[in-house]
Structure 1
């Protein structure tokens, strides 16, 4: 059957990993992925509900498909539309009321049900929804079609036990569950054997890995065990400051494969705001963590998340956040204006701060973020960095694009006599000739033996 499918993914790395499993499952049915909705018989939206904009985007896109004609040559007499991920988990069958042209809804706990739900919905000419409150399955047990052959997401936990007052994730991803170290290592070994060069360990809070299985966090053991598989580059996301241990920090100085990059969400620089957020650490503790990490790995690149306009945020609270961002020297800061999420405690709290004031604070912070990122990149001006090539520039296919150990985007002209396809997924050394706010640009000085 000549079945075509298209997947659109919103949100975090875990959603991207789940989407790779959707690709794997549908391809195992004999379906073929296509790049556009118009060319697809089945369209799957893997959704995020952390911010309101994601809801708006999903509803607009699904509604716009209502009168889209069925693909010429399609084996189906209709286009099947499925919504999964966090919005699917949160809203369930209610989505059918809001989106009449929707056929299937599935949640974060039952990814494996998608093929059967699609077949049932089409065979019965109706709608199917299945949203489980909990599951014993890990999506890593399903077939996969990774976006890149040389890089892999490797979930070590799912769910979250922190219940920050602004966050919907524990309500749609469930309570934290850890995979066994043995399963994680086995998957990592398989990736290394297949030629994967970079693994990113995933979890809503990787630092608390193992607390549910072993009674205490054992994330440092996971890092050491995965490093022992021979992987060239190892990363992880995301870290919660309250659970970042000295043992994990020390590994930045001991494991050569552990890349010098740490995403450590602060969310606010005000202790009063952090307390209302239920973050369970202070700004002082957060700064101590930064000092410890830099003592072990002075060249480490740091990134963070910041929420502006959390209910009750005062001018003094914001200035404390501004000071944190200005003084730490982040290479990247993901800034967000607070978005009320129904079902969270903070959604019930009133805030009299005018939107114009919140926007002004946000704009000021963005300026500080840009300065911080620019200053951080100047450190590498004139240096040589090892780059894992991911592809070519969308603007110029004679320019390679890749990532440095510090997760910086790097551009460089492809050397004469070398094909771009031979570089992708391999390492090159680039001398940095130009350091901009969001990328480095330079000259390739050496290519790996695999390319020569």
Structure 2
């Protein structure tokens, strides 16, 4: 096995991705000389959408295991191995990991722990006797699982190169590709444990990212989510920047807007370098007018203590500029309540910032001291005050009605998900407003126009607008085709499709105009017997109908096809003239036949 020395217990060094807590149960069974592993959905926690890269790495690990012949299990008790994917952003995430590890050990199941926790804190007591795989070694997760199933304890943590982007992947949502553009960051926030795990910035090349975009678009992906610890920092280590990358990606998106791009989280310092260029990209028809820009606090003194490398004024510049330059722009932000040293005045400034902008999305969290970070050594704000401030900020945020007054508006949405209620589908507008619609699951992966019918605090409800134009034949279209329409329409037999069924296609039984009457609106003839109206005329004459008038057939039951005739409310001049002509002809025939007899008699 390549580099097996790296997998010896006790070896390795930090950094890596930041991941959410997840777990996968593996149940190996030999089928066609491959192991069949099933997914343990009961232990999978939904990744937090505000944590960069939370889903992408899990999808890559699941994809590699599946490609090797494993399936993912539904039953944790039947699984022979658990794989837990961890996040070190907050203490509750690590606590949940600890609980799962205890449960797994109690069940005497082999265990592999991946993600930020083992990468950044490899000496944790909870990880003793457990196999671990580093976040930049996810391309070797199969090796770790194989060795663990053999009874070996494996630790693979050494940082080498970035994992390839074309690894097998099992997407949580088939329509959404989560695309990591870099790992690590350039910041040094005093509260952040993730830096210990992920290390310094490492960016993928533009060529590799563009190639990945081409491939996933060809696979039918409808949304591409750019993922990163700090999107704005992309390329600083390889001599390029985010606008260059975004323009290259946008150039690969289909012009029919069937695939949309969502730009990931970016901190203020780096986006300030390219603000107008970013705004230009956000205006592109294939890019959601949405950006996640964490502010963390409305107080400059707190931002300084956090080592965030920007001021509230710079954050406001970012927001004001994007709102000014990008139509329908929506911005989400993050707030940490109760950071060490935060005073009531500091917190009041945060409340004022949120009130000023009324952001539709604010991720509010209480401060959690992470071991080994500078903030963990700072004087803490009493926990009761932290909780009080968190509740107050939440109350202020929930008092906003960001979508008020848009009822009746028509919006284009891209539908990619099923709502948690299992009834509605979830779509997003160009400005990334969430719209819930009642529709068939066949609408997933499509875009459509909707009319906003009602507004909620977190999302809006809409009705899909059905374009009836294709189902109607315009008057001018019919007029152009009148000359080629036959004057006789034959009835349908019991075992064939009716040509007079009124389908959207031009009907072969379209009414024929006589005497210049060609004001026909649409083809709506139906085949069958009219039991309500008696026919007042026979022949091959098909005339315009009015109101609810129907057509019928003569001589049904005969093997020979009969002629369809129509009923009318009123006979016109041309009709009387035709009947008169028929009478004259009949009289002439009678006269010709009787004339010899008359002469003989005379």
Q: Could you say whether these structures have the same fold, taking a TM-score greater than 0.5 normalized by the shorter chain as the test?
A: yes
Alignment gaps of 5+ in structure 2: 1-29, 31-35, 469-503, 505-602
* Residue 427 of structure 1 pairs with residue 411 of structure 2: no
Change (3 A) 1:202 1:383: same
* Residue 273 of structure 1 pairs with residue 290 of structure 2: no
Hey, what's the Cα distance between the residues in 2 that align with 1:138 and 1:447? 46
For 1:334, the equivalent position in structure 2 comes to: 363
Equivalent residues in 2 for 1:127-276, closer than 5 Å:
127-132=153-158, 134-214=159-239, 218-231=241-254, 232-244=259-271, 245-252=274-281, 254-276=283-305
Aligned-residue offset at 1:447:
8.0
* Residue 388 of structure 1 pairs with residue 388 of structure 2: no
Hey, what's the Cα distance between the residues in 1 that align with 2:241 and 2:133? 32
3-state SS, counterpart of residue 386 of structure 1: strand
**Contact kept in structure 2, 1:386 and 1:430, CA below 8 Å:** yes
Hey, what's the Cα distance between the residues in 2 that align with 1:296 and 1:396? 37
Rg (Cα) greater in structure: 2
TM-score, with structure 2 as normaliser: 0.67
Hey, what's the Cα distance between the residues in 1 that align with 2:421 and 2:64? 33
Change (3 A) 1:447 1:317: farther
* Residue 304 of structure 1 pairs with residue 329 of structure 2: no
For 1:4, the equivalent position in structure 2 comes to: 38
**Contact kept in structure 2, 1:5 and 1:43, CA below 8 Å:** no
Aligned-residue offset at 1:212:
0.4
Q: Deviations over 1:194-242 (max 9, x none)?
A: 211211111111112111001xx51011111111102531111111101
Size of the aligned set, in residue pairs, is 425
* Residue 289 of structure 1 pairs with residue 315 of structure 2: no
Hey, what's the Cα distance between the residues in 2 that align with 1:106 and 1:260? 37
Aligned-residue offset at 1:264:
0.6
For 1:79, the equivalent position in structure 2 comes to: 109
**Contact kept in structure 1, 2:118 and 2:134, CA below 8 Å:** yes
For 1:74, the equivalent position in structure 2 comes to: none
Change (3 A) 1:36 1:260: farther
For 1:417, the equivalent position in structure 2 comes to: none
* Residue 369 of structure 1 pairs with residue 369 of structure 2: no
Change (3 A) 1:190 1:45: same
TM-score, with structure 1 as normaliser: 0.88
Hey, what's the Cα distance between the residues in 2 that align with 1:405 and 1:118? 42
* Residue 23 of structure 1 pairs with residue 62 of structure 2: yes
Aligned-residue offset at 1:363:
0.7
Hey, what's the Cα distance between the residues in 1 that align with 2:405 and 2:213? 33
* Residue 402 of structure 1 pairs with residue 427 of structure 2: yes
Change (3 A) 1:380 1:183: farther
Name the structure, 1 or 2, with higher relative contact order (CA <8 Å, separation 6+).
1
